[in-house]
Structure 1
């Protein structure tokens, strides 16, 4: 395949013999992009159910794309064909396997006619275009190079970089302006056209990056479900001011609930979003978000304001007798920002506020979203190096639970400074210090300050199958109390505590090869001891600012304090003995079994308690702590924890969690948890695929000790390659009022386009562990994201 020497007469050659920029490529990729009002959406959708089918199959005669679209203007255009007919006129005809290539672009056709005097051309017969982003197949293309007018007829396209395909009856271009007639778009394969977006006419402006669709409709199957007479949308990655996808809900409390976000593109490095919201049963609300980004940091400021909420009027019994009823003006505020300072230091702020303690419950339909009982705001400067981390900060707590009082709030730390340093010293030792200075403030409780210093020296020794780490620490803590708090704690306003902490941590590693049921394993045996000695010092007169008991668990066997915070340091003369064994598959390296058991032996009574009324910890043995994790196959996972008190001859804790993976997408979870004097609960959840497209979802979460339902979910979902439909019924207990609430969610998701109805994916992901295969959590994820209000587990009594 080649061209004759007459090619140079029509397309003058450059000194290197190649024809450069002699023929302007049709800007088809820009035209097709204009047919996609879902630009840049659907990147995270699940396409596992999609067949390997393209609307436009790969062109076997097309070369691999070279370079990027940005390189095209600087690259040559090569033309080749089986035959060239250059007559006495200005018309030149390329026939048979005509190919034009430039960088990542390829244009192939059966025949190309070009008039060098008028600049007109006609490409006929199997017009094929390909670049790094898409493939296009058309019947005919013609145009005028001089006036930059182009027409492409009867075309189909297939996106390459992201999923999507469609077609158009005709595309007309002139310069940066264009017109598409009878265009379609879908992420579904041609053989399973679950949904399709159609538009009778789309006017495009590639210079502005905008398009206007007229008479647009969305069809599910062959049935039109949404009609839009006029719609403006972007066709490239540039951010623009305009409307975002609305949110539509329906509930008995809010009525018809419509929220329409409006995006404001203010500058390249900052923007804003306004979100007016109408709730027919409650009134109007305005939300706003402002974001910024610069070389040294980023931030987000967001809030919502509702001038008049009719909910207290509609449900007066909910607020009867409340110490803090809702105000007329209700709202929330959040600020999160970080800024790089110098070296390893940064400034960070995370601030939050709500108008009243009822706000989180009244504006959330999530059981987990309402569990935050306080809102913590923090502001500080933080640093981190190879051997140290430090910070100076302040925080404040706001009450967000109307069932509690201000006295339940934790102390504000105004300010707090801390330093943690640990570094090897020579070849044998490690030295370090944990230091903290805090001033505690509270609106209704007594106040004071505290300095805590804990330097230590350790000698970590280890070999291939053993380790021994003796450690000596000294803890010095000093308080400065106001008069009222000093009087309540024995009359001393500057108490101190100083005592040594000695520990020894040692362990051995044994391993052997075993064969079980024909499979080879590496079996380990890992005995461990931990000795702790801390002398007794009377701490009954010391204040309690931020100290609580830790939950007894496997990790507690190897800590030097059973309390959080420095207000209490246990006295101890105790020895922990523990052993762990593992079975590790030699075929794939997976841990099939991990079993651990341990216990603390108290040689003396531990007399330090949180308050004078609490009984000391008597000498003897602690509860046995056992943890077992088993993975008998690729689909089963079983985890169990058990605590047995030999003195009282009773269980303190029983926890059982099992998970079974069904097929490629399904999962079944069963959990049981019992903690003496606190809770006994059972949790069963599942995603069960009935067929390739249909699956059942459900959860039953029940409190056995209170004989009360916590949450139940039941639903059905249908999912195909490019579309999903979910119908989910839910009943859950409201965290504060204890009332049961019901909801019915219906959602239609068009993958790559968006969804209509109440979104159920996040609800099911939180309720069903492993709902998404990439998220096989053993602990339920919180519905609050990382920027949400900080909530502590328990208030201070």
Structure 2
């Protein structure tokens, strides 16, 4: 009888072949579908007489098989017949039936009456199971199955198999409950080849309820993780700029380590765009090439007169034949060194704007390409790289672009000595060139900063004195040296330099106690901190400004030895930061209930180094106070704010308020207000309000929206209004958007509809990830992610055309 037991490893998972995902079914975000609205009942309930489906399927062949039944007739090794509660068990597999017969002379078997099969991936019931072990042919009649590793169920009139090949007749698949079929995929016949990992469905129909909405006479799909050539799901949308927009991706599985996706795209207002994505993967690296081409873009012809009327520079006009190229990749050279590249090219400065549907606001005014080799070890990191900038905003000139670094080499080193001292150094050698080399000539710069510190600390205190020396020297083009001389009034110098010592002392205390707050135990901390900086003044008016800007005045700047980014300026300083932070940390959850910080810089001398010779001096005295606080009122409400109070002008330089309310398990409402003033000239830089929400009306319906408005410009930056519908196995999102698409403030409109068949894929533009970026908390887990630090110049905008970095 042991031969008959070979039917247990029979690949009955052929019944779930329609559950195999087409390449397009992979989600853009790593978020599993929400099955919260699904009932607990399953299409095939658990078998009460089956053992738990545990164990590894790969171990089945080596495991023993147990067979039992109420009655046994026949002789073991010849013809046997089990009847009454027949069960076969091996590892994670279970087979149950009322009757099981085996004929040894022709190696045939028949199982009838409540045939049940279960393993770690599925359960099924059938009317009859029969086969020929010698010929390796099997047939299952009237099958119903339930996937257990992932949601899905369905059935088949019959399944026929021969070896690794088989066919399903009259098969169905859905992730919906059997009694509430929102959608179902049916096929007249499905041929399966498990050796190739391929299935071919014939006469396949997708039904919404009882209504067929899509019929495909024949299509191929994978039955395992191997990729297959075929059509991906199309994306359909409409916008005022593109008109009716249809994308039809075509996936090409060229080899195990590389593939390609062709993406023809029809835009009724513009023409046909041809897109190609080529991906490769090797033992040491991977990369993606992305190319787009739109010959004879109708938008260029129709908008030419508007460009002329708006006095747009001819070099920034749309090209008739347009395109884009992107490459992103990396390659591990060894355990220490890695090569990385991120390359971008567009045919004209308007391409980014015309292809953007950015929810975060304005289109970038530039694109950056970089390539390099980078290394990292325990005590050092280094790199040799180059970057290149291209204009991405047609309303500006190339003068606003940063300098290219062609190339840049850097080294950072840090190590401890004897457990008492820590020493390190930072060095950089860079060649700067500009896209507009006539008005903005370049040069080379070498910058080195060795330092040594002595960190002292105890259980509740720390003191870290640090002494550094910074040396910077240049080799400038003659034209740049003359420009600097005209600005500073000094004689032209093609080899200017700067050197100075920098001393800092960072010290702090940590006090804590256990206290009750709102009836719960909390750890209450008090953390005073002092940070002293001393750096002598050096005249830097003869130095160029290649890549240096002022940093935004923020909490992090209180504890830095330089208020500028880049190496072209080193601030002189004789200043002391006084700061205090207090926290209330819930003892049971570990989360911060309350956090409050306040700090200020005391300038003992004027700080005279500026970006330009005419930059205002920071006078002796006190900086603006920085206060920051956040408070979790309860599990639903949280508020926070940042406030900068300038004692000289006796008014705020920055105000940022934020509030969040969580609705139920999924809903969220965000409200924020931001205001910033230039501390030097008291000019208003920005004033914005941002309101966004996900409001569940009931478990199935919800509203989404965002209103992002600039009070300073009297202009909406982005508006979103949408409705979402969700069920156990299906979801739909209809979103209308109006957003700023360039720095000039031009608006674009779009309406997008996405229908998601959970467990299968979606049709229409991918809206969930865009809403996730626009509405913080759209995916609840995003609220607990730490955002990246924000370091930028004071105004937060790109430099103006006359802002020459010199």
**TM category, shorter:** over 0.9
Distance in 2, matches of 1:72 and 1:180, equals 25
The equivalent residue for 2:501 is: 500
Distance in 2, matches of 1:369 and 1:648, equals 32
1:193 aligned to which of 170, 181, 184: 181
The equivalent residue for 1:261 is: 249
Distance in 2, matches of 1:288 and 1:554, equals 45
Check whether the contact 2:512–2:525 (CA below 8 A) recurs between aligned residues: yes
The equivalent residue for 1:34 is: 17
In structure 2, do the counterparts of structure 1 residues 565 and 499 end up closer, same or farther at CA, with 3 Å as the change threshold?
Answer: same
Q: Does 1:704 align with 2:711?
A: yes
1:79 aligned to which of 55, 63, 67: 67
CA RMSD in angstroms, aligned pairs only? 2.3
Q: Does 1:554 align with 2:555?
A: yes
1:319 is paired with a residue of what secondary structure?
helix
- Stretch deviating more after TM superposition (476-485 or 188-197): 188-197
User: How does 1:517-666 map onto structure 2 within 5 Å?
Assistant: 517-666=518-667
- Stretch deviating more after TM superposition (137-146 or 652-661): 137-146
Q: Does 1:751 align with 2:749?
A: no
Residue deviations 1:737-777, cap 9 Å, x none? 42232222222211111222333212211111100111127
Q: Does 1:484 align with 2:479?
A: yes
User: How does 1:80-479 map onto structure 2 within 5 Å?
Assistant: 80-86=68-74, 91-320=79-308, 321-323=311-313, 324-368=316-360, 371-444=363-436, 445-479=440-474
- Stretch deviating more after TM superposition (206-215 or 695-704): 206-215
Check whether the contact 1:769–1:777 (CA below 8 A) recurs between aligned residues: no
2:266 is paired with a residue of what secondary structure?
strand
In structure 2, do the counterparts of structure 1 residues 584 and 23 end up closer, same or farther at CA, with 3 Å as the change threshold?
Answer: closer
User: How does 1:50-61 map onto structure 2 within 5 Å?
Assistant: 50-61=38-49
Residue deviations 1:157-213, cap 9 Å, x none? 111211111111222223333222221111122343322112222232333322222
Structure 2: which 5+ runs fail to align? 486-491, 678-683, 790-795
Give the superposition deviation at 1:546: 0.6
Residue deviations 1:442-475, cap 9 Å, x none? 1321111111111111111111111111111111
- Stretch deviating more after TM superposition (402-411 or 90-99): 90-99
- The total of aligned residue pairs comes to 771
The equivalent residue for 2:792 is: none
User: How does 1:666-681 map onto structure 2 within 5 Å?
Assistant: 666-676=667-677, 677-681=684-688
In structure 2, do the counterparts of structure 1 residues 732 and 777 end up closer, same or farther at CA, with 3 Å as the change threshold?
Answer: farther
Check whether the contact 1:312–1:318 (CA below 8 A) recurs between aligned residues: no
Check whether the contact 1:107–1:129 (CA below 8 A) recurs between aligned residues: yes
Give the TM-score of the pair, scaled to structure 2. Answer: 0.92
Give the superposition deviation at 1:338: 1.3
Give the superposition deviation at 1:317: 4.2
- Stretch deviating more after TM superposition (651-660 or 237-246): 237-246
Check whether the contact 1:124–1:139 (CA below 8 A) recurs between aligned residues: yes
- Stretch deviating more after TM superposition (167-176 or 564-573): 167-176
Distance in 2, matches of 1:341 and 1:115, equals 62
The equivalent residue for 2:691 is: 684
Distance in 1, matches of 2:563 and 2:386, equals 26
1:58 is paired with a residue of what secondary structure?
coil
Give the superposition deviation at 1:674: 0.5
Give the superposition deviation at 1:79: 3.0
1:432 is paired with a residue of what secondary structure?
strand
Give the superposition deviation at 1:90: 5.9
Residue deviations 1:344-384, cap 9 Å, x none? 11111111111111111111222548622211111111111
Check whether the contact 2:676–2:686 (CA below 8 A) recurs between aligned residues: yes
1:313 is paired with a residue of what secondary structure?
helix
Distance in 1, matches of 2:797 and 2:370, equals 17
Check whether the contact 2:734–2:751 (CA below 8 A) recurs between aligned residues: yes
Distance in 2, matches of 1:734 and 1:348, equals 30
Give the superposition deviation at 1:77: 4.3
Q: Does 1:24 align with 2:7?
A: yes
Check whether the contact 1:630–1:639 (CA below 8 A) recurs between aligned residues: yes
Give the TM-score of the pair, scaled to structure 1. Answer: 0.93
Structure 1: which 5+ runs fail to align? 1-10, 12-18, 783-791
Distance in 1, matches of 2:515 and 2:64, equals 66
Distance in 2, matches of 1:199 and 1:271, equals 28
- Stretch deviating more after TM superposition (191-200 or 587-596): 191-200
The equivalent residue for 1:794 is: 798
2:782 is paired with a residue of what secondary structure?
coil
Distance in 2, matches of 1:238 and 1:73, equals 24
Check whether the contact 1:286–1:304 (CA below 8 A) recurs between aligned residues: yes
Check whether the contact 2:361–2:739 (CA below 8 A) recurs between aligned residues: no
1:730 aligned to which of 719, 722, 737: 737
2:725 is paired with a residue of what secondary structure?
strand
1:606 is paired with a residue of what secondary structure?
coil
Check whether the contact 1:20–1:75 (CA below 8 A) recurs between aligned residues: no
Residue deviations 1:583-622, cap 9 Å, x none? 1122322211110111111111111111122221111111
Check whether the contact 1:561–1:569 (CA below 8 A) recurs between aligned residues: yes
Distance in 2, matches of 1:65 and 1:689, equals 38
Check whether the contact 1:360–1:370 (CA below 8 A) recurs between aligned residues: no
Give the superposition deviation at 1:581: 0.9
User: How does 1:1-16 map onto structure 2 within 5 Å?
Assistant: 11=1
Check whether the contact 1:23–1:77 (CA below 8 A) recurs between aligned residues: no
Distance in 1, matches of 2:444 and 2:572, equals 23
Residue deviations 1:664-704, cap 9 Å, x none? 01101110000011111111111111111111111111111
Residue deviations 1:243-278, cap 9 Å, x none? 222222233432332222222222221222222222
In structure 2, do the counterparts of structure 1 residues 21 and 382 end up closer, same or farther at CA, with 3 Å as the change threshold?
Answer: farther
Distance in 1, matches of 2:63 and 2:4, equals 8
Check whether the contact 2:77–2:104 (CA below 8 A) recurs between aligned residues: no
Give the superposition deviation at 1:781: 9.5
Residue deviations 1:251-306, cap 9 Å, x none? 34323322222222222212222222222332222211222222221122221112
Distance in 1, matches of 2:761 and 2:532, equals 59
Distance in 2, matches of 1:417 and 1:652, equals 38
Distance in 2, matches of 1:714 and 1:421, equals 51
Check whether the contact 2:238–2:750 (CA below 8 A) recurs between aligned residues: no
1:32 is paired with a residue of what secondary structure?
helix
Residue deviations 1:393-433, cap 9 Å, x none? 11111112111112211111111111111111113211111
Residue deviations 1:312-339, cap 9 Å, x none? 1233344334322222321111112211
Check whether the contact 1:452–1:478 (CA below 8 A) recurs between aligned residues: yes
- Stretch deviating more after TM superposition (67-76 or 656-665): 67-76
